[in-house]
Structure 1
Amino acid sequence: MSMIIAGHFQLQDEVERARAALVEAGFDAGRVSGFYVNQPGQHDMTAIGGDQHLSPGAKETPTGLAEGAGGGAVIGAVAGAATAPVTGPLGPVVGGLLGAHVGSLFSFSRMKDRGEHEEGGQNVPAPRVAGMLVAVAFDDPGLEARAVDVLRRLGAHHLERARGNIVGGDWADFDPRSTPDVIA
């Protein structure tokens, strides 16, 4: 694995200028990569698309749904049974169904707001900003300052440091969900 310095740009033209400037500064053209980082949740990392199987903040929802529906059904059936002299045998059934429905709405109380603490720590703000990214890989740690200088001079923002492999212009082991080591 090599050291990688990467920076974000706004326009495709800026990406091409940054790639050329890094090569002019002595970096190997095959170890310079430019690509677009999608918005969080749009990285197509699962079979059905997206980044994860459950939405952040919703992993406790199935438990809340089961608890609410079960509790609501029992309460609704008891209330329906109490009205059986007026409603007949359908009272407990309708009461149970209505109670299960109302109780299932309890699952909303299990959902988390963006950034709210969640056991397991999966409900956190997006770790990496979307946009055009230029990255350069090198093995000599002394080249880090040169790479940072070139990218900053060209207007890069959200500079980050990583370890990985860029081969033939492709950052082969890039994970858009990873938390970047921000330089500044």
Structure 2
Amino acid sequence: MSLIVAARFTTFPAAEDAAQKLFNEGFVEEDVTLFFVNPRGQHARFATGGDTHSEPGAREAPKGYHRMGVTIGAVAGAVVGVAIFAAFSASLPVLLIAAGVGAYLGSWVGAMARAREGGHVGHHLPFHEEMRASGVLVAVHVSPDNQLDAARVLREAGGAAIERASGRWQQGRWADFDPRKTPEPLNEFSNEFSEKHA
């Protein structure tokens, strides 16, 4: 595994300027990369889009829990729809349409009501809350000896959320970067940097 220091920038020109400053400080091109990190939940990790197979907590919901609410709501909606239009002596086709629309709306209301009942299904279930903000990430392949120098250059260039990671650096890029993984702030940088430059 390689040691990596990275910082977030708001624009590509700012990130490119930071990369140039790293080169000026002696870092080589194959040890510096920059790339855009999409907003939370929009990393398209699956062909259908998004970062998970389903909404957080949906997989853990009890089987049949929502189905029962949908069924009850559909039956109630169909009955209400037919009753309303029957009161106006509507024709059979209009009654059938009213039953269908009532069933659809009733199933939706039933599902929502059932989901809210009993302490909000899904809210008590564990899920991964992504902590990484979007922006242009400048990542630097470093050694223990020059990691603070890289962090200093990135900070002076306007980088935010300076982090350290252990990852796979291949062919001049951070090969196993996972945007969903919570960044590890480079705490030593703030302490050691302030002592060195006090």
TM-score, with length taken from structure 2: 0.68
Query: For the structure 1 residues 48 and 61, does the alpha-carbon distance in structure 2 shift closer, same or farther, using more than 3 Å as the test?
Result: farther
Could you give the per-residue CA deviations for residues 103-127 of structure 1, whole angstroms, max 9, x where no partner exists? 33334417969xx9532333x3x31
Alpha-carbon distance, 1:147 to partner: 1.0
Query: For the structure 1 residues 35 and 102, does the alpha-carbon distance in structure 2 shift closer, same or farther, using more than 3 Å as the test?
Result: closer
What do you get for the CA RMSD once the two structures are aligned? 3.6
Opposite residue 124 of structure 2, the aligned amino acid is E
Could you give the per-residue CA deviations for residues 47-73 of structure 1, whole angstroms, max 9, x where no partner exists? 212111112354439754123235557
Equivalent pairs: percent with the same residue?
37
Checking the alignment, whether the CA contact within 8 Å between 2:57 and 2:125 is kept in structure 1 is no
Query: For the structure 1 residues 101 and 157, does the alpha-carbon distance in structure 2 shift closer, same or farther, using more than 3 Å as the test?
Result: closer
**Cα distance in 2 between the residues matched to 1:10 and 1:102:** 42
Query: For the structure 1 residues 132 and 61, does the alpha-carbon distance in structure 2 shift closer, same or farther, using more than 3 Å as the test?
Result: farther
**Cα distance in 1 between the residues matched to 2:10 and 2:126:** 34
Task: Count how many residue pairs are aligned between Structure 1 and Structure 2.
Answer: 167
2:167 corresponds to which of 141, 149, 164? 164
1:72-91 map, 5 Å: none
Where does residue 146 of structure 1 map in the other structure? 149
Where does residue 131 of structure 1 map in the other structure? 135
Checking the alignment, whether the CA contact within 8 Å between 1:57 and 1:112 is kept in structure 2 is no
Opposite residue 179 of structure 1, the aligned amino acid is T
Alpha-carbon distance, 1:101 to partner: 5.6
Query: Is 1:121 aligned to residue 122 of structure 2?
Result: no
Where does residue 109 of structure 1 map in the other structure? 116
Q: More deviation in 32-41 or 61-70?
A: 61-70
**Cα distance in 2 between the residues matched to 1:28 and 1:178:** 27
TM-score, with length taken from structure 1: 0.73
**Cα distance in 1 between the residues matched to 2:156 and 2:18:** 9
